[in-house]
């Protein structure tokens, strides 16, 4: 829908960015996607920790993204010091402290965390 074409993942480009061999990049990507697939099929909760951004939590049919406060400040270009704004973000479950254990975000407390 929308007329967008799928493009194959460019393993060589990923390898250069990660400073690893193409074979290593491809192996890691395929291993990660395979593990993710099996977790989703079995209903196991997973969390992707996105460095300097936040955590993407997938639990059953629920998908939730929580952002680190400093990332939101970079995106908006200003410090979020207003307590009303901060409280609103917290009530929307959008803000995440780096000190919070990722497992505590899940209903069960059990989650597979990517990357490892």
pLDDT, tens digit (0-9, with 9 covering 90-100), for 37-96:
998 899 888 988 888 898 999 988 889 898 988 888 888 777 776 667 667 776 667 888
Closest residue by Cα to residue 18 from 6, 32, 4:
32
Q: How many Å apart are CA 114 and CA 2, to the nearest integer?
A: 30
Range of the domain at 33: 8-42
Contact indicator for 32, 115 with CB cutoff of 8 Å: yes
What residue spans of 1-68 are helical by DSSP H? 11-18, 22-42
Instruction: Quickly state the pLDDT bin for 25 (edges 50, 70, 90).
Output: very high
- Predicted confidence at residue 10, as pLDDT, reads 93
49 shares a domain with 31: no
Q: Residue 115 is inside which H or E element, if any?
A: none
Q: Residue 65: which residues within 8 A CB-CB, separation 6 or more?
A: 54, 55, 56, 57, 94
87 shares a domain with 36: no
27 shares a domain with 53: no
- Predicted confidence at residue 48, as pLDDT, reads 87
When pLDDT is averaged across residues 87-106 and rounded to a whole number, the result is: 78
């Amino acid at each position: 829908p929308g007329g967008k074409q799928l493009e194959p993942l460019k393993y060589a480009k990923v390898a250069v960015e990660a400073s690893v061999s193409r074979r290593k990049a491809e192996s890691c990507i395929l291993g990660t996607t395979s593990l993710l697939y099996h977790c989703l099929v079995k209903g196991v909760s997973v969390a992707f920790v996105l460095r300097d951004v936040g955590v993407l939590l997938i639990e059953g049919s629920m998908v939730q993204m929580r952002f680190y406060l400093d990332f939101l400040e970079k995106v908006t270009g200003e410090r979020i010091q207003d307590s009303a704004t901060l409280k609103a973000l917290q009530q929307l479950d959008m803000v995440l402290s780096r000190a919070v254990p990722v497992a505590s975000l899940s209903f069960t407390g059990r989650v597979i965390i990517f990357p490892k």
